[in-house]
Amino acid sequence: MKSPLLTLLLSLTLFHTRSQTRDVGQQIIKKKCTTVHAHLTPKEGGQHYPLLFDSIRVSDLRSDTSRIGLVKKGGHAQKEILLDGPATAQLTSYLNAGFTAPTAKHRLLVVIKDLWVSDPDASQVNMVREHCAISFRFEAYLASGSGYTPLTYMDTTATYARSSTELVIAHRLPELIALFMDKAADHTLLDDRTAKRVVSYKQIDSFARSRFDYAMDTATRLVTGVYATVDEFRNNAPSILKYEIKKGKDSLMELHIPDENGQMYYTHKVWGFCDGEHIFVMMDGNVFPVFPVGHQFYVLGSKEYLNKQMWVPFFLPLGGGFAYGTTAVSDNVIRKLQLFRLNIQSGEVTE
């Protein structure tokens, strides 16, 4: 019997356009993960400062606005974490219920740059899997005439023990939001805004979206070749145009490139490669597929090895698509495939 993931991969072998690829990316995540809805219940009051804002506007400028996290469920399974509705609507309701008053005189703009719930990195051996991390980057702007004055920001990653992901979000995310709003209130009370420039919302939006101003984000034609670095991937400009893909002794993909004499050799030191339609990134000497959702790139790959023999999916690029099957990594070692996020700046694959 085929696993649900293998059935999915076999049914999604041809990606003809970039827009289709992004749609398929959503399908892969939906098929790979169960969906968990996290509740962010609005509360009135509760902060330790006077209510300063009569309204709070929220703008969600994250790379992927369709979810707020991916965490392990157990075994090979993962959970996709969603709020009850779009993050903009949910956080607008939450912030206005708890941090505004009709008699206040200031208007606040909150820009979400990052809000992501994940497992701690497996390389952090002191972290057990019963923990989860919340990456949080919010920015505050005070309405000033026809524009906005930059006020403050909070950029942090907090790790918590969890009884359930839903409870962590219900209790810990409000704590982070309260700390951020404390900073916004302190700067509103103390800041001399006459010395700061006023910017338009269009400028704020444009600056935030400049993070996605690289060729691969909007590429409609992928250049075939090997990426020596993540910069080459971002620029859709592989520097090594000749390569070969071979099936190794463990049935996984091996990438071969020419040496100075033109002889092909197996390499595990490049960043990845593109076959003209699909992108692959190298992890531990093997290559795994990369796919976009919004402005975020995800990887279906593996960082974990277990000492037990079993069959696991493998994939090979064939023509315009992927061929998927199952194979043992070795008699004693298996890989666990899961979804990761790709850090477009560093090129690192993170949970």
DSSP assignment of 293-336, as one string? ETTEEEEEE---EESS---EEEEEEETTEEEEEEE-SSSS-EE-
Phi-psi region of 203 (alpha: psi -120 to 50; beta: other; left: phi over 0): alpha
DSSP state of 43: -
Pair of tokens at residue 72 = 């392990």
- The 10s digit of each residue's pLDDT in 263-275 is 999 999 999 999 9
Q: Is pTM, for the whole model, over 0.85?
A: no
On the question of pLDDT at 145 being above 50, the answer is yes
Question: Do the bridges between strand 312-318 and strand 321-327 make them parallel or antiparallel, or are there none, so unpaired?
Answer: antiparallel
pLDDT at residue 26 tops 50: yes
- On the question of pLDDT at 303 being above 80, the answer is no
pLDDT for 50: 66
Quick: pLDDT tens for 218-268: 999 999 999 999 999 999 999 999 999 988 776 677 899 999 999 999 999
The pLDDT-based confidence of 79 (bands split at 50, 70, 90) is very high
How far apart are the C-alpha atoms of 265 and 133, rounded to whole Å?
Answer: 40
Instruction: Please answer whether residues 110 and 96 qualify as being in contact, where contact means their C-beta atoms are separated by less than 8 angstroms.
Output: no
Q: Which band of pLDDT confidence, cut at 50, 70 and 90, is reported for residue 8?
A: very low
Comparison of pLDDT for 229 and 313, the residue scoring more: 229
* pLDDT > 90? residue 126: no
Over 70: is that where the pLDDT of 5 sits?
no
Lowest mean pLDDT among 104-118, 131-145, 309-323: 309-323
Looking at per-residue confidence, does 95 or 42 come out higher?
95
Q: What angle do CA 153, 155, 160 make, to 5 degrees?
A: 135
For 233-302, the DSSP string reads HHTT--SB---EEEE-TTSSEEEEEE-TTS-EEE-S-S-EEE-SS-EEEEETTEEEEEEEETTEEEEEE-
CA distance 17 to 27: 15
Residues ≥6 apart with Cβ < 8 Å to 142: 106, 107, 108, 109, 148, 149, 151, 188, 193
In contact, 157 and 136? CB cutoff 8 Å: yes
Which strand (E) or helix (H) includes residue 139?
Answer: strand 131-144
Q: What's residue 320's pLDDT?
A: 44
